Homo-oligomer: A and B are copies of this chain.
Amino acid sequence: MVTIKDISKRCGFSTSTVSKALNNSLEIGQETTAIIRKTALEMGYLPNTAARSLKTNRSNNLGVLFIDEMQSGLSHEYFSGVINSFKVEAERLGYDITFISHNIGNMQMSYYDHSVYRKCDGVVIACVDFSDPAVVELIHSEIPTVTIDHIFNDCTAILSDNLTGAKDLVHHIYEYGHRKIAFIHGENTSVTKRRLAGFHKACDALGIKVPDEYIKAARYHDPRSSGLATRELLNLPDPPTCIMYPDDFSFIGGMNEIEKHSLTIPDDISVVGYDGIYLSQVLRPKLSTFKQNTEALGKEAAAHLVESIVDKKTYLPKQIWIAGELWIGDSVKNLNFE
């Protein structure tokens, strides 16, 4: 391990001069800086992050906290898309990422503790249940945080535009002639609230009456609960002609249930998903869905988190809305040509 001391010896400047030069300090003469940087490069110098971190209390490390209730981990395509994009942007900005979780070894610790333990300069939080006290503790701590899809006071939020998403879907379905639209929603989170609001707003605007029994609760990313909800909807005396699902993945549960009823999509029943995961585009019929821009979500999250770290004194929390895109597939029957 070549250290600042080694460089210092090699080129005859003191360690502090070397240190300053390597940090592009303006105190040091240009020529000196050049020499020092050159020898550092030649010697293959790498800063010792531990020493630097000990001294500066910064780690160039960003924490990533994500938990979904289904424990899908990285196989949750929406989250993994966001995280991957977050990682790319974080690395571009000079940060590594560390996953934050409860238990490390036999140490039980809170998310906050883990973040402190790893000296994360900031943490991005994406999860379904933002009411978890451990999550709240972290958000209200002195550690800069950015949330995905949830608004906290004094914390920047990167938000997928769920209101518009739900609206756009309803409008699309309406344009195809449907008037009996059911909505299976996920856990009662702010995401769900906004989607429900978008759904009802659009229905109101279009003059569609939605019977209470057309609104069913299920869970995100859980085909089973969406399957059950689907069954209830199909068994209704006056069933809907189109079902909106919590997400593309959950729709699979509905799909199986629809198959069991010997119904065909979209001829007997229309459906739409949400997310625009890869799967949605290779199913037959292709699923109509609302594509969330995971790439932009992750990138913005990293950019704002880093900004809030660097400009800690002046940074003001923001809410960044990320637009999505309606993807029209073949899962909604066009009733206009009947």
Contacts and interface: CB of A to CB of B under 8 A. Distances in A.
Between A74, A93, A113, the greatest number of chain B beta carbons within 10 A of the residue's beta carbon is seen for: A74
Contact of A46 (B50, B73, B113): B113
Contacts of A113: 44, 46
A133 interface: no
B94 A107 contact: yes
Given A96-B118, A98-B96, A80 B75 contact: yes
A103 interface: yes
Contact of A97 (B75, B91, B99, B279): B99
B283 A116 contact: no
B84 A46 contact: no
A109 B92 CA distance: 13
A200 interface: no
A169 interface: no
Nearest to A249: B278
A119 to B, nearest CB: 6
Nearest to A73: B84
A87 B116 CA distance: 19
Contacts of A283: 282-284
Interface stretch (A51-59, A174-182, A206-214): A51-59
Interface residues on A, range: 35 or more
Nearest to A56: B50
Given A252-B282, A282-B279, A116 B46 contact: yes
A117 interface: yes
A291 to B, nearest CB: 14
B101 A91 contact: yes
B53 A50 contact: yes
Contacts of A255: 282
Contacts of A61: 98
Contacts of A93: 105
Contact of A47 (B84, B117, B279, B284): B117
Closest 9 CB pairs of A and B: A94-B105, A50-B53, A50-B54, A73-B84, A74-B84, A74-B80, A252-B282, A50-B50, A46-B117
Interface of A: 1, 44, 46-51, 53-54, 59, 61, 73-75, 77, 80-81, 83-84, 87-88, 91-99, 101, 103-107, 109, 113, 116-119, 252, 255, 278-279, 282-284
12 contacts: A47-B117, A50-B51, A50-B53, A50-B54, A50-B59, A54-B54, A75-B81, A92-B103, A92-B105, A94-B107, A95-B104, A279-B282
